[in-house]
Amino acid sequence: MSLIGSHHVGIIVKNLDRSIYFYHDLLGLEFDNEPSPWFDGDELARGVGVPGARLRQVSLRSPDGVIVELIEYGNRPADNDQPIQQNYLGAMHLAFRVDDARATRSALVAKGVDFLSDVNVVDEGVLAGWRWVYLHDPDGIPIELVEVAYVNREARAAGIAEYLANRPALDSLL
């Protein structure tokens, strides 16, 4: 087996068209394919593991080639209006690299986007060089903007080597 790279990140959204405005018009992701028609059927339901699945999707591409697939399910449960809490098992977030976190945050604030905090600056430890900030998309999905001002490759390599040399044995984790 050999992984050759990442293909895409998928996000379940409430309204595909509204999410396209956010990810395409505000964040600047380009279309990789046009929005699909509605898909359904037994084969799709088996393939995605959702009984009675009915969905449509669009794929958008970031400047460095990461594909973000937005999927709207027509049969999403009615009581499912909020994404899972960030510290729950299976919760994820999408992070985009930016040249200047403060300038990007300011530009998006001017367009009406709310952020959870000011830009956080990390200059010590494993993430030294990061400038990061979180926001939510229209459905409350967490998005992180990350500026990598510098990387201390020697310290990171030493930390990784130390971890690999001392990590718990796999059988103790099962």
Q: Alpha-carbon dihedral of residues 79, 84, 90, 96, nearest 10 degrees?
A: 130
Residue 112 lies in a domain: yes
User: Are 9 and 64 found together in one domain?
Assistant: yes
pLDDT at 26: 95
Q: 21 pLDDT band (50/70/90 cuts)?
A: very high
High-pLDDT (> 70) share of the chain, %: 100
Q: Is the pLDDT of residue 89 over 90?
A: no
**pLDDT digit string (tens) for 23-62?**
999 999 999 999 999 999 999 999 999 999 999 999 999 9
Residue 31 lies in a domain: yes
- Contact partners, residue 51, CB within 8 Å, separation at least 6: 45
CATH code, domain with 114? 3.10.180.10
pLDDT at 154: 92
- Nearest to 57, CA basis, from 82, 32, 86: 32
Residue 144 lies in a domain: yes
Last residue of a domain, one of 51, 79, 107: 79
As for how many domains the chain has, the answer is 2
Domain that residue 127 falls in = 92-174
Give the residue, 30 or 88, on which the prediction is more confident. Answer: 30
State how far the Cα of 165 lies from the Cα of 153, in Å rounded to an integer.
18
When pLDDT is averaged across residues 126-152 and rounded to a whole number, the result is 95
